[in-house]
Structure 1
């Protein structure tokens, strides 16, 4: 069997490696990602979106949550003292 790494022809373009000195903060979360990060269920997440306690945008049929799980939990901790 021929060695696929040494086959003739043009080399395949390589994906550039990410620059580790730059960090990219995620701007939106799927419902599943948000639920996992916040430790809540999907039903509760949809209830919170309905109550406008979690901000989101709708793209077609998909909802992208723009509140990070950390911001959401910090808001809950701030309201716990009241």
Structure 2
């Protein structure tokens, strides 16, 4: 299922804390249920976290390699 990108949160809403870690937030469609969810790019740790409050979907990827670090998607069963 292809994820349709909805919008990028304006740059003034980028989060910078006192340790100078930058987090970019995008609004996207959930790959599991299709509702609006958020994708967080955490630059300091080189990860991307997509999570949906509606269906409890979670996907954490390495932004450098694209490998899945952690994933949880209710209703989607892992194949053997």
Query: Where on the TM-score scale, by shorter chain, does this alignment land: which range?
Result: under 0.3
Q: Could you tell me the TM-score, scaled by structure 2's length?
A: 0.21
Larger Rg: 1
- Larger relative contact order (CA 8 Å, sep ≥ 6): 1
Q: Which has the higher helix share?
A: 1
Q: Which has the higher strand share?
A: 2
